Amino acid sequence: MKFFEKIKNNQTRTIKILGFSYTYDRNKFKRNKISVFAKIKNTKLLGGNKIDKNTKIFAKVKDGCIIGRGTDIGENNEIIASYPENKIIIGDNCCIGHDNIIVGGGNITIGNGALLASYIKILASNHNYSDISQPVKFQGNTSKDIIIGDNGWIGDNVIILAGVKIGNHCIIGGGSVVTKDIPSYSVAVGNPARIVKRYNFETKKWERC
């Protein structure tokens, strides 16, 4: 591997140095920092993104994954839109830690300014199991969309299941399993996750429920 390399065309200039590639778009004036050990396919980066080593971002069709401006994604993440009709959209200025799995059987949308820690699983499909005469692996999947709002914080080891909507500025405590919707400006913890605090706009404080 070359320690320093320049690649040019009419619109972009890519510089590879010390294991990272920097892409500068002359028209849009945006630069991405992508590890040469990252694997990205059918993904649209909106600019100013950092993608760390051993992260995989795959979609079945062009622009099936969209990563917003200024969003950083750490190492060893798997972000996969499983079917051609699925999309995974991550907003602007998000920060995603390491060793997370974000898999879309349904669509997954993560809002602007979201902070995701590490070892999180966001799973937009579940195995069917209603027919006890058949093994679960032969009964197919049910896919449902997942929506995570703006400016939230998802702690370590959280699991978010298919069909869940988490509102804006929510905090999900580490180790929680989110099986139901969480309204905006809430703190939820536990398995299954339950709301323990809400923000009171009159007192301007987080108050216990």
Q: Are residues 186 and 166 in contact, defined by beta-carbon separation less than 8 angstroms?
A: no
What the block records as the tokens of 88 is 């995974």
Backbone angles phi, psi at 122, to 5 degrees: -115, 110
98 among known catalytic residues: no
- Which residue is catalytic, options 127, 192, 200, 209? 127
Q: Are residues 71 and 96 in contact, defined by beta-carbon separation less than 8 angstroms?
A: yes
209 SS3 class: coil
Strands (E), 99-151: 101-104, 108-110, 115-116, 121-123, 125-127, 141-143, 146-148
Cα–Cα distance for residue pair 104/93, rounded to 1 Å: 21
Q: Are residues 37 and 60 in contact, defined by beta-carbon separation less than 8 angstroms?
A: no
Q: CA-based Rg of the chain, rounded to a whole angstrom?
A: 19
Strand pairing class (121-123; 159-160): parallel
- Nearest alpha carbon to residue 97 among 63, 55, 60: 55
Q: Annotated catalytic sites, by residue?
A: 127
